[in-house]
Amino acid sequence: MRDLTTDLCVIGAGSAGLSVAAGAAQLGAATVLVEEGVMGGDCLNYGCVPSKALLAAAHAAVAHRAASPFGVTAPAPAIDRAAVARHVQDVISGIAPHDSVARFEGLGVTVIQARARFVDRDTVEAGEVRIKARRFVLAVGSSAFIPPIAGLDRVPFLTNETIFDRIAEIRDLIVLGGGPIGVEMAQALARLGAKVQLVEMGQLLPRDDAEAASLVRAALAADGVALHENSTATEAAPAGDRVRLACRDAAGNTQWLEGGHLLVAVGRKPRVEGLGLDLAGIAFSPKGINIDAGLRTSNRRVYAIGDCTGGPAFTHVAGAQAGLVIRSALFRLPVRFETRALPWVTYADPELAQIGLTEAAARAAARGGGGDPVVIRIPYGENDRARAERAETGFIKVVADRRGHILGVTIVGRQAGEMLAPWCLAMSRRLKLSALAGLMLPYPTLSELSKRAAGQFYAPKLFSPAVRHLVRFLRWFG
Ligand SMILES: Cc1cc2nc3c(=O)[nH]c(=O)nc-3n(C[C@H](O)[C@H](O)[C@H](O)COP(=O)(O)OP(=O)(O)OC[C@H]3O[C@@H](n4cnc5c(N)ncnc54)[C@H](O)[C@@H]3O)c2cc1C
């Protein structure tokens, strides 16, 4: 066993761990990074990157549908699923060097490719190396949660870790789970020509604005996805080389669905097993590793960030937390992770973007005290760029308090995720709606929807009788 002493030891080379290791090494800290699997973690290999690459192919596959209103007719394209799969792998390969062992060693990081586990409060063992560090960062991520459904262990189901290798062969898919992953994969595969059935025990996209989610629901239905909402999977069984899934609806009726493949996408399970957390005095539960607002575990020497904490499971959260850990561990600055201005996007068509509170959450919070929120909703159809591009499906909804502080924004429609950027700035800097209402934006852009929504907040005040009297009074004085 070789002994190694370092400033910082990072366990896990996914979005969270890579960001900490790169930042710390570039600031001159001696950094060790331990990874048991492939560099890049879920995001690069089994998550964000392959899913967005697949969706891009899927949206291209139906682009001809949107052409006819422009007077352009195009035949339905031929879809070469093997080529689509190669495109997905090609995008991963293109990004992989950025996350590679070679790049990190070039930055001065010592990379150890082995499984890490704590053996006491300040020692980690990985392969043949025993590591002592001033600070540790647990960034071990999550895996697909597999629900306790009778017979599921007897059928060969897919998860996000296996589906991207099977794209070429999937003709007929049951998707279990109607969250962002299930919705994105269902739409992608349906647009690429597969028969898709989606089962969700509640409503699609339950964390999102219900009205916005209903536009995504309509799009999935138009893509041919058979939706089974309020339907609980109770049993799975093999049927030759196919899969059968029993689903009970709200009325208690059971229906058996059959498909060539089954994708399980019902949520994430933080990795807490096999890490020696008990030996290190790190408190955890099946919901994740416990952390305080400063991202420290119950062992003050150890931070935990990213999916393994059971918090919001997004790459941008992992990145933001990594930045905070660097400030805290290397500069000893006080840090606090907040979710007040947390954005997230479901990359379906229409895209659904959210930051902060939804209308329903803001109304619920108001019931607990504070005034009712102001809700402003502008349809895409009232925007000239959206009209010119025949992209009139969608809306922006801004939720604010009576003084113009932004509580949350929902955007559903073309480029919704891109349109969220100024709202991320405004909410993180606690700007009021006046900051957006006063912008000069290029015409015609979809972004004008944001400016218009912000401006509408002030319209009743601006055109009030009191202001009209003031204008008349000033004119009278010449
Ligand atoms: C299909 C899908 C699509 C997604 N799309 C998006 C999206 O569009 N936008 C977005 O923001 N987020 C998206 N996400 C979520 C995003 O991928 C995760 O939030 C992010 O990858 C979490 O990063 P992480 O570093 O916490 O964990 P991971 O990426 O899981 O990395 C953890 C790493 O730790 C390693 N590890 C675990 N245990 C040990 C050990 N004992 N020793 C050594 N190494 C260990 C693992 O091998 C892994 O490489 C998506 C997720 C999925 C599944």
Q: Given the structure tokens 């053996």, which residue do they identify?
A: 119
Encoded tokens for 438: 């006063």
Beta strand segments in 265-389, E: 268-270, 284-285, 288-289, 302-304, 343-346, 351-356, 374-379
**Among candidates 21, 14, 3, which has minimal Cα distance to 40?**
14
10 lines ligand 1 (CB under 6 A): no
Nearest protein CA to atom 8 of ligand 1, as residue: 48
Nearest protein CA to atom 47 of ligand 1, as residue: 37
User: What is the rounded CA–CA span in Å between residue 74 and residue 76?
Assistant: 7
User: What is the rounded CA–CA span in Å between residue 431 and residue 436?
Assistant: 9
Task: Count Cβ atoms below 10 Å from residue 2 Cβ, excluding itself.
Answer: 9
User: What is the rounded CA–CA span in Å between residue 268 and residue 129?
Assistant: 30
Given ligand 1 and candidates 158, 284, 315, which is best to mutate, with the most ligand atoms within 8 Å of its CB? 315
Per-residue pLDDT of the chain (478 residues; tens, 9 = 90+): 899 999 999 999 999 999 999 999 999 999 999 999 999 999 999 999 999 999 999 999 999 998 999 999 988 899 999 999 999 999 999 999 999 999 999 999 999 999 999 999 999 999 999 999 999 999 999 999 999 999 999 999 999 999 999 999 999 999 999 999 999 999 999 999 999 999 999 999 999 999 999 999 999 999 999 999 999 999 999 999 999 999 999 999 999 999 999 999 999 999 999 999 999 999 999 999 999 999 999 999 999 999 999 999 999 999 999 999 999 999 999 999 999 999 999 999 999 999 999 999 999 998 877 789 999 999 999 999 999 999 999 999 999 999 999 999 999 999 999 999 999 999 999 999 999 999 999 999 999 999 999 999 998 776 777 767 777 777 776 6
Q: Point out the ligand 1 atom lying closest to the alpha carbon of residue 143.
A: 30
pTM summary value = 0.95
Provide the pLDDT for residue 473: 74
Encoded tokens for 107: 């930055």
Task: Count Cβ atoms below 10 Å from residue 374 Cβ, excluding itself.
Answer: 18
User: What is the rounded CA–CA span in Å between residue 410 and residue 420?
Assistant: 9
Given ligand 1 and candidates 39, 43, 345, which is best to mutate, with the most ligand atoms within 8 Å of its CB? 43
Using an 8 Å Cβ cutoff, are 173 and 58 in contact? no
Q: Give the torsion through C-alpha atoms of 14, 96, 115, 287, to 10 deg.
A: 20
92 lines ligand 1 (CB under 6 A): no
Provide the pLDDT for residue 345: 98
Q: Point out the ligand 1 atom lying closest to the alpha carbon of residue 48.
A: 5
Give, in order, the Cα–Cα distances in Å from 350 to each of 187, 232, 347.
11, 26, 8
Give, in order, the Cα–Cα distances in Å from 342 to each of 16, 60, 317, 398.
16, 30, 8, 15
Q: Sheet of 406-413: strands edge to edge?
A: 343-346, 351-356, 406-413, 394-400, 374-379
Q: Point out the ligand 1 atom lying closest to the alpha carbon of residue 141.
A: 27
Encoded tokens for 176: 């279990």
User: What is the rounded CA–CA span in Å between residue 264 and residue 174?
Assistant: 9
Cis, bond preceding 350 (omega within 30 deg of 0)? yes
Q: Point out the ligand 1 atom lying closest to the alpha carbon of residue 17.
A: 25
Q: Point out the ligand 1 atom lying closest to the alpha carbon of residue 275.
A: 41
Nearest protein CA to atom 26 of ligand 1, as residue: 306
